[in-house]
Chains A and B, each alone.
Chain A
Amino acid sequence: MIAHAPVATRRVLWGLSLLLPVILVVAIGSGAVTLSPGEALGGVLAWWRGEFSQAGVIVAQIRLPRVLLAALIGAILASSGAAMQGLFRNPLADPSLIGVTAGASLGASIAIVAAGAGLQGLSGITVISLGAFAGGLLAVLLVYRLASSTAGTSVATMLLAGIAISALAGAVGNLLEFHADSEVLRRISLWRMGGLDGADPTRLAFAAAVCLVVAGSLPLFATPLNALLLGESEARYLGIDVERTKIALVVLVAVGVGASVALAGTIAFVGLVVPHIMRLLIGPDHRSLIPASALAGAILLVVADTLARVVMAPTELPVGIVTAIIGVPFFISLLRQRAQYGMR
C-alpha cells in the first residue's frame, strides 16, 4: 500500500491553500446580514477606497477582523500542536501539555478578580489578555526549569511537570472562583469557553505578528523535528543541536499558545486534532506537516467561528464547543482507519 506519496502531499497542500481564501470570503459573507461573495469583496474594496457602504462597514469593522483573527489563531494553535507532537514524539500531545493553557487561564482569572467590577470595555480586555499572556509564559518557564538539569532537558519530565503545574494552576483558579462573586464568576467562565468576539485592529495586529513569528519559525525546525522522531540520541548523532531545538520550540509554542489564549480564551482541540488529521493524510514529515497544519487550523477555526455566529443567531456559541462538535466525528472516522495509515 502506498500511503501519503509526495503527489498526495502536494495535492493536500494546494487544496488547503485554495480552500482557505474561499472559506474566508464565505465566512465574511455569513452572519446576521448575509452578503454574497461579490458583495463581501465589493464591500472590502469600497472600504479600502474610503467610500461609505453598509456592506463595507459590516465587513471592514466587524467581520474581517474577526475572521482574520480566527484564521491566525487557528494557524498558530495547529502549527504549535504539530511541533509539540513531534517534540514529545507522541501523536496525542497537545500544546497545552507544557502548562501554557492552564497558566494563561490562571493569569486571566487573577486579572479579572484583581480588577473586579472596574473592568469595562477595551481596557478590561487588554488587562485580561496581558494577565493571560504573562501567566502562560510563567507556567512554561516553571515547567521548563523543573524538567532541566545539568544533563539537559528531559521531555518526559517536561510532560509530567506540565501536568503538575496545570493541576496547580487549575486548583488556584478554582480557589479564586470559590471566593468570587457571581458577576466575576460569570466573566471568568465566559472567558474560559473562548471566543473571538473581541476582534479589533490592535488584537489583529498582535495576532498577525505572533503568527508570523511562530508559524514562520516553526518550519525552520522541520528537519530537527523529523530527526527527533527517531529518538533524541539518534537526532544528536545526525548532527542536530537537540537542546537548542527543544528550547526554541518550547519558547515558540509558549508565545504562540499564550498569545492565542490571551486573545481568544482557551480553544481546545484545534492544536491536538488538526496536526493529527494532517499526519494521517500526508504523513509525519514536518516540512509539509507544519504548513499543512497551519492552513487546516486556520480553516477549521474560521468555519467553527462562523458556525458559532450563525447557528443560533443572534446568540453566539462559544467557539470551543463548535470546534469540538465539527472535529470529533471527523477525527473518530480517521481513528477507525488508523491501521491503514500506519499509526498504532
Chain B
Amino acid sequence: MAALDVRGASAAPYGPPLLAGIDFSLAPGEILSVLGPNGAGKSTLLHALAGGIDTAEGEIRLGGQPLAQWPRLARARALAMLPQQSTLAFPFRVEEVILLGRSPHASGAAEDRVVLAEVMRATDTERLRHRLYTHLSGGERQRVQLARVLAQLWRAADSDTRVLLLDEPTTGLDLEHQDLVMASLRQLAATGCAVVMVAHDFNLAAAMAQRVLVLRNGRQVCQGAPAEVFTGRMFEEVFRVQVHIATHPLSGAPLVVHP
C-alpha cells in the first residue's frame, strides 16, 4: 500500500487556486524531490500534504486512509513536517526543542531519551544539547529543527505509515552537515519512512530521490525518475535556463551543469 497517494488534488485556501492537478503516489521508503521555480507552490504542496491546507478537489490518502479522517495524534505520529522557516523566539534548550517532536507519542521518557540520542547523532547536535536555541546560528537551528521532526518519526514501531515532509532541509547547512543529513534521511527511508523534500539543488535532488516532481504555477508539470524528468527541454520550459545534462561519474545519476 502506498504511504502517500495523491489523486487530482487542488487547493485554493485564499480564493485563487494555488495548486491544481497534483497526482502522484509514494511507496514506503521512497524519497520524492519537489522542484520548481519561486512561487511554483512547493511549500503550499507540502502544507496540503501535511493537512494544514484543505484540498478543494481530489484526494490525499495517507496509508490508504483519507488524510482528513486521521485522528489528530495518530496523524502526528505518521506525518511530520519541517517548515522553511522557524519562528521559535523563546530560549528553550536544544534538547527541549528536539523532545517536542516526541510530544504526540506516549512511548515513555526512557524511550524518548533513546530517540533523542539517536537523532542528535544523525544531525550532529549532541554538542549543542544544553545550549539555548536562541543562541544558535542559522545552520545550527536548522539541524535542531530537523532533529525535532526526525524524532517525531524515528521509530518504525510508532506508526505503520510514516511520511516526512521537508521544506528545503539543507538551507544554511555546510557541505559536511549536508552530507550527514542526507545520509540520515537515507537511513530513515531505509526503515520504511517515505520522504518528500522540496529542494533547490537539482543535483542533490537527483542524488537523493528515486522520484522527482516538477511544479510550475501550482500545476504538476511532470514526475518520474530523475533520469526521465531531467531533460534540457524541461529546464528551458519550466526554469527558463539552458543547462547541460551529464552523468555523475560515480553514482550514474543525472548531473545538471549550469554554465
Q: Would you call A238 and B93 a contact (CB within 8 A)?
A: no
Q: Would you call B103 and A227 a contact (CB within 8 A)?
A: yes
Contact of A342 among B51, B81, B91 (CB under 8 A): B91
Contact of B92 among A5, A89, A229, A241 (CB under 8 A): A229
Q: In chain B, what residue has the closest Cβ to A4? A: B93
Q: Would you call A238 and B152 a contact (CB within 8 A)?
A: yes
Residue interface bits B52-78, CB-to-A below 8 A is 1, else 0: 100000000000000000001101110
Determine if B251 is an interface residue (Cβ-Cβ < 8 Å): no
- Kindly state the separation between the CA atoms of A241 and B75 in the bound complex, as whole angstroms: 12
Q: Would you call A239 and B130 a contact (CB within 8 A)?
A: no
- Kindly state the separation between the CA atoms of A5 and B47 in the bound complex, as whole angstroms: 35
Q: Would you call A239 and B92 a contact (CB within 8 A)?
A: no
A interface bracket (residues with beta carbon within 8 Å of B) = 20 to 34
Given A230-B88, A343-B134: A239 and B73 within 8 A (CB)? yes
Q: Which of B160-183 contact A (CB under 8 A)?
A: none
A-B contact count (CB 8 A): 91
- Kindly state the separation between the CA atoms of A121 and B238 in the bound complex, as whole angstroms: 79
Given A342-B91, A342-B133: A223 and B103 within 8 A (CB)? yes
Q: Would you call A237 and B76 a contact (CB within 8 A)?
A: yes
Q: Would you call A239 and B52 a contact (CB within 8 A)?
A: no
Determine if B104 is an interface residue (Cβ-Cβ < 8 Å): yes
Determine if A269 is an interface residue (Cβ-Cβ < 8 Å): no
Q: In chain A, what residue has the closest Cβ to B148? A: A230
- Kindly state the separation between the CA atoms of A241 and B76 in the bound complex, as whole angstroms: 11
Determine if A181 is an interface residue (Cβ-Cβ < 8 Å): no
Residues of A within 8 A of B91 (CB): 3-4, 279, 283-284, 341-343
Q: Would you call A283 and B92 a contact (CB within 8 A)?
A: yes
Q: Would you call A89 and B100 a contact (CB within 8 A)?
A: no
- Kindly state the separation between the CA atoms of A3 and B90 in the bound complex, as whole angstroms: 13
Determine if B137 is an interface residue (Cβ-Cβ < 8 Å): no
Q: Would you call B83 and A344 a contact (CB within 8 A)?
A: no
Contact of A234 among B83, B90, B96 (CB under 8 A): B83
Q: In chain A, what residue has the closest Cβ to B152? A: A238
Q: Would you call A226 and B86 a contact (CB within 8 A)?
A: no
- Kindly state the separation between the CA atoms of A280 and B92 in the bound complex, as whole angstroms: 11
Give chain B nearest CB distance to A7 CB in angstroms. Answer: 12
Q: Would you call B75 and A230 a contact (CB within 8 A)?
A: no
- Kindly state the separation between the CA atoms of A5 and B152 in the bound complex, as whole angstroms: 23
Q: Would you call A3 and B93 a contact (CB within 8 A)?
A: yes
Residue interface bits A317-344, CB-to-B below 8 A is 1, else 0: 0000000000000000000000001111
- Kindly state the separation between the CA atoms of A1 and B51 in the bound complex, as whole angstroms: 39
Q: Would you call B88 and A237 a contact (CB within 8 A)?
A: no
Determine if B80 is an interface residue (Cβ-Cβ < 8 Å): yes
Determine if A11 is an interface residue (Cβ-Cβ < 8 Å): no
- Kindly state the separation between the CA atoms of A233 and B134 in the bound complex, as whole angstroms: 20
Q: In chain A, what residue has the closest Cβ to B104? A: A239
- Kindly state the separation between the CA atoms of A234 and B145 in the bound complex, as whole angstroms: 11
- Kindly state the separation between the CA atoms of A4 and B91 in the bound complex, as whole angstroms: 10
Q: Which of A262-302 contact B (CB under 8 A)?
A: 279, 283-285
Determine if B132 is an interface residue (Cβ-Cβ < 8 Å): yes
- Kindly state the separation between the CA atoms of A296 and B76 in the bound complex, as whole angstroms: 35
Residue interface bits A227-270, CB-to-B below 8 A is 1, else 0: 10111011011111100000000000000000000000000000
- Kindly state the separation between the CA atoms of A229 and B88 in the bound complex, as whole angstroms: 6
- Kindly state the separation between the CA atoms of A279 and B134 in the bound complex, as whole angstroms: 14
- Kindly state the separation between the CA atoms of A89 and B133 in the bound complex, as whole angstroms: 15
Q: Would you call B89 and A89 a contact (CB within 8 A)?
A: yes
Give chain B nearest CB distance to A256 CB in angstroms. Answer: 22
Q: Would you call A91 and B52 a contact (CB within 8 A)?
A: no
- Kindly state the separation between the CA atoms of A344 and B136 in the bound complex, as whole angstroms: 13
- Kindly state the separation between the CA atoms of A219 and B43 in the bound complex, as whole angstroms: 34
- Kindly state the separation between the CA atoms of A229 and B80 in the bound complex, as whole angstroms: 17
Determine if B135 is an interface residue (Cβ-Cβ < 8 Å): yes
Q: Which of A79-103 contact B (CB under 8 A)?
A: 89, 91
- Kindly state the separation between the CA atoms of A67 and B92 in the bound complex, as whole angstroms: 35
Given A238-B104, A239-B103, A284-B90: A342 and B72 within 8 A (CB)? no
- Kindly state the separation between the CA atoms of A230 and B133 in the bound complex, as whole angstroms: 11
Q: Would you call B87 and A283 a contact (CB within 8 A)?
A: no
Q: Would you call B47 and A227 a contact (CB within 8 A)?
A: no
Q: Which of B100-158 contact A (CB under 8 A)?
A: 100-101, 103-104, 130-135, 152
Q: Would you call B52 and A342 a contact (CB within 8 A)?
A: no
Residues of A within 8 A of B52 (CB): 233, 236-237
Determine if A2 is an interface residue (Cβ-Cβ < 8 Å): yes
Residues of B within 8 A of A91 (CB): 90
Determine if B50 is an interface residue (Cβ-Cβ < 8 Å): yes
Q: Would you call B132 and A229 a contact (CB within 8 A)?
A: no
Give chain A nearest CB distance to B18 CB in angstroms. Answer: 15
Q: Would you call B76 and A239 a contact (CB within 8 A)?
A: yes
Instruction: List the 6 shortest-distance A-B pairs measured between CB atoms, nearest first.
Output: A239-B76, A342-B91, A342-B132, A239-B104, A284-B90, A342-B134
21 contacts between A and B (CB under 8 A): A2-B130, A4-B93, A5-B93, A91-B90, A226-B100, A226-B103, A229-B90, A229-B92, A230-B100, A234-B86, A237-B50, A237-B80, A238-B101, A238-B104, A283-B91, A283-B96, A342-B91, A342-B133, A343-B90, A344-B89, A344-B134
| A-B contacts besides A236-B52, A237-B80, 4 pairs, CB < 8 Å | A226-B103, A230-B100, A238-B104, A283-B91
Q: Which residues of A contact B (CB under 8 A)?
A: 1-5, 89, 91, 223, 226-227, 229-231, 233-234, 236-241, 279, 283-285, 341-344
